[in-house]
Chains A and B, each alone.
Chain A
């Protein structure tokens, strides 16, 4: 009993430690600029205002930035998962020559630090005429995600029983039909987990958006938040409000797919 209480107290404290910075941001987001400027960021709030949310939403154009983010994130997630599932299906269910090598080759791209590819990608995107477009950003995200998603889905599909596929083949289903009617529905838990994870990754990306996008009005929400910082002086309260707004979509996706997040972590753990 004592051990149990001790455990709960300790865990409670640790979770508070984790949540504290978030709470702090939320508190700052409701303080007025003059309050922050006069009392400092660390002090207890002396004011309460919603105007920070208004200025983040209107003056900083966060609405448009969020739309841009969704315009990039949703197609990128769908495309990369779609392509990755087809690739994984082929590699996992058919004896394609060199399939191990292909898979490792795809995964190898993920081992490279993305920073060394910044300049080549920015130059290449410019060369093909898609610099400063959301299409370029989607393509980059799909390209970078593909290797890892294929690897995870491959592991999952490989473990599906052979008999199901054989039964489908006997019933006259071709590879396409087996993929869409048998394998894909069975892979749904893995797809949901990966979808939730990749949504967060792509939505929270900053590096690629500032590499391939130049116009302020095409920037997704992460660089838009950076834009709230001035050259010298930043309105931290507005930035905090903007951050809270920007977190809403990812939190919504997380809450909706919570159990798949946990499921996703365990994919391939038990054979």
Chain B
């Protein structure tokens, strides 16, 4: 009897407890929300900074950065970090809302320009008055198609062929400089029973675009690459086909498992010596165990045609502001501060340290790897960013589809390129 009765009264108290909790929570819920309906841009002296840097280290670095600015006086900045995936999908909603956040983390180039074209971004030309020392490439990336400066770059990173020094020594290979040397290195590594080229395309099919980008800028040059991505070229062009013909030469050396796991797992495979090298951006270092970091090195994507001016991929990150900001002076003051070497050093020192300050006077992390990367980018004749950043997030899926198909069925290049062109035309016309 009691065995039945006890749980019953138990459930009642549980329900009552829930009810009380619910009633109690409803009240403060009202109180806090009525204080700030849409806390986007609080009116006086407070700026909202919407950040997509949600990984633990980057988030902590952003908090330090904002704290440092808030000590300088002026408008107080309120950092709001949301998951990068949410940020990416919600950014158009943020920008078009009636009371949008003021400043946003985002990427330079056409992905910023696409919002400028919709007249959603603040003209920050006056901020650039204090940024005379920035490189010409940075200026171009931050200028909208209407000729206004709409972006403040603060950091960039680079892509390279990463490998483990100890493994290269073990296999008796040295970093190649030319395509022929690269193919020879692949052959040697394969003869040891290791897949030479690692890749991770499951969940992250965009990683394949790095190969397309690099082969295209090595064979056809950066200007052709940019035009193609801007919709002024044609993917059925024989010059584009040449890219894939070259790619086919090394296709047998790709890790066959790479199609099934994401790039983070591909990093593990590289570090464990299950693959030889990996074309990837420096962000991969965040997913490496600390003790492996000293053993990591990279080489520049091999030169294919020495007559083509050397271009490198250096995706640039930074900030832009909403056109609807209330405190325009406060926002510009904050952006001006973000552009200083001092501010960028605060971020670099507190984040994973593989990004390089966009301000030429800013000191990057003092590791040989970062110094080497910085030297490579500074020595490049041309800078591109990455497929989606040089085109649009809408064009990226067309590349993912085409490249994944190519890796599966390389003999169908002509049909794949025709399909790609058709898909791209739809995107450009939209």
Contacts from A to B (Cβ < 8 Å): 33-41, 55, 59-60, 70-71, 74-75, 77-78, 119, 122, 126-127, 129-135, 138, 210, 214-217, 219, 223, 226-235, 238, 256
- Whether B129 is near chain A, meaning CB under 8 Å from some CB there, is no
Q: How far apart are the CA atoms of A18 and B313 in the complex, in Å?
A: 44
B31 to chain A, nearest CB (A): 11
Q: For A227, what are the chain B residues with a Cβ–Cβ distance below 8 Å?
A: 54, 81-83, 86
Select from chain A the residue with minimum beta-carbon distance to B89. Answer: A210
Is the beta-carbon distance between A38 and B268 smaller than 8 angstroms?
A: yes
From 82 to 137 in chain B, residues with beta carbon under 8 angstroms from any chain A beta carbon are 82-86, 89-90, 93-94, 97-99, 101
Which of B19, B38, B40 contacts A78, CB < 8 Å?
B19
Q: Could you list some 15 contacts between A and B, CB below 8 A?
A: A34-B289, A34-B291, A37-B267, A37-B287, A75-B25, A78-B19, A78-B22, A126-B98, A130-B33, A131-B99, A210-B90, A226-B85, A227-B83, A231-B55, A238-B56
Select from chain B the residue with minimum beta-carbon distance to A34. Answer: B289
Which of B58, B60, B289 contacts A37, CB < 8 Å?
B289
Q: For B39, what are the chain A residues with a Cβ–Cβ distance below 8 Å?
A: 132, 214-215
Q: For A35, what are the chain B residues with a Cβ–Cβ distance below 8 Å?
A: 289
Given A74-B22, A223-B83, A227-B54, list of 6 further CB < 8 A pairs? A40-B265, A60-B56, A78-B18, A214-B50, A223-B86, A232-B284
B215 to chain A, nearest CB (A): 22
- Whether B11 is near chain A, meaning CB under 8 Å from some CB there, is yes
Q: How far apart are the CA atoms of A256 and B23 in the complex, in Å?
A: 21
Q: For A41, what are the chain B residues with a Cβ–Cβ distance below 8 Å?
A: 265
Select from chain B the residue with minimum beta-carbon distance to A206. Answer: B86
Q: How does the 8 Å CB contact mask read for B288-320 relative to A, with 1 for contact and 0 for none? A: 111110000000000000000000000000000
Q: For B242, what are the chain A residues with a Cβ–Cβ distance below 8 Å?
A: none
Is the beta-carbon distance between B264 and A126 smaller than 8 angstroms?
A: no
Which of A119, A210, A214, A223 contacts B101, CB < 8 Å?
A214
Select from chain B the residue with minimum beta-carbon distance to A226. Answer: B83
Q: How far apart are the CA atoms of A87 and B139 in the complex, in Å?
A: 62
Which of A55, A122, A229 contacts B85, CB < 8 Å?
A229
A198 to chain B, nearest CB (A): 12
Q: For A138, what are the chain B residues with a Cβ–Cβ distance below 8 Å?
A: 29
Q: How far apart are the CA atoms of A223 and B81 in the complex, in Å?
A: 11
Select from chain B the residue with minimum beta-carbon distance to A35. Answer: B289
Which of A38, A135, A234 contacts B289, CB < 8 Å?
A38
Known contacts A34-B290, A130-B37, A131-B97; A74 and B83 CB within 8 A of each other:
no
- Whether B169 is near chain A, meaning CB under 8 Å from some CB there, is no
Is the beta-carbon distance between B272 and A39 smaller than 8 angstroms?
A: yes
Is the beta-carbon distance between A232 and B29 smaller than 8 angstroms?
A: no
Which of B26, B90, B281 contacts A232, CB < 8 Å?
B281
Q: How does the 8 Å CB contact mask read for B16-49 relative to A, with 1 for contact and 0 for none? A: 0011011101100110010001111000000000
Is the beta-carbon distance between A55 and B81 smaller than 8 angstroms?
A: no
Q: For A228, what are the chain B residues with a Cβ–Cβ distance below 8 Å?
A: 54, 56, 83
- Whether B428 is near chain A, meaning CB under 8 Å from some CB there, is no
- Whether B141 is near chain A, meaning CB under 8 Å from some CB there, is no
Is the beta-carbon distance between A40 and B268 smaller than 8 angstroms?
A: yes
A219 to chain B, nearest CB (A): 7
From 125 to 175 in chain B, residues with beta carbon under 8 angstroms from any chain A beta carbon are none
Is the beta-carbon distance between B25 and A55 smaller than 8 angstroms?
A: no
From 185 to 200 in chain B, residues with beta carbon under 8 angstroms from any chain A beta carbon are none
Among B21, B26, B101, which residue has the most Cβ atoms of chain A within 10 A? B26
Q: How far apart are the CA atoms of A107 and B286 in the complex, in Å?
A: 49
Which of A38, A214, A238, A256 contacts B80, CB < 8 Å?
A214
- Whether B322 is near chain A, meaning CB under 8 Å from some CB there, is no
Is the beta-carbon distance between B283 and A231 smaller than 8 angstroms?
A: yes
Is the beta-carbon distance between B19 and A132 smaller than 8 angstroms?
A: no
Is the beta-carbon distance between B83 and A229 smaller than 8 angstroms?
A: yes
Is the beta-carbon distance between B29 and A75 smaller than 8 angstroms?
A: yes
Among B86, B89, B98, which residue has the most Cβ atoms of chain A within 10 A? B86
Is the beta-carbon distance between A235 and B56 smaller than 8 angstroms?
A: yes
Q: How far apart are the CA atoms of A70 and B18 in the complex, in Å?
A: 10
- Whether B217 is near chain A, meaning CB under 8 Å from some CB there, is no
Is the beta-carbon distance between B289 and A70 smaller than 8 angstroms?
A: no
Q: For A126, what are the chain B residues with a Cβ–Cβ distance below 8 Å?
A: 38, 97-99
Known contacts A210-B90, A231-B283; A215 and B264 CB within 8 A of each other:
no
Known contacts A126-B98, A256-B11; A231 and B82 CB within 8 A of each other:
no
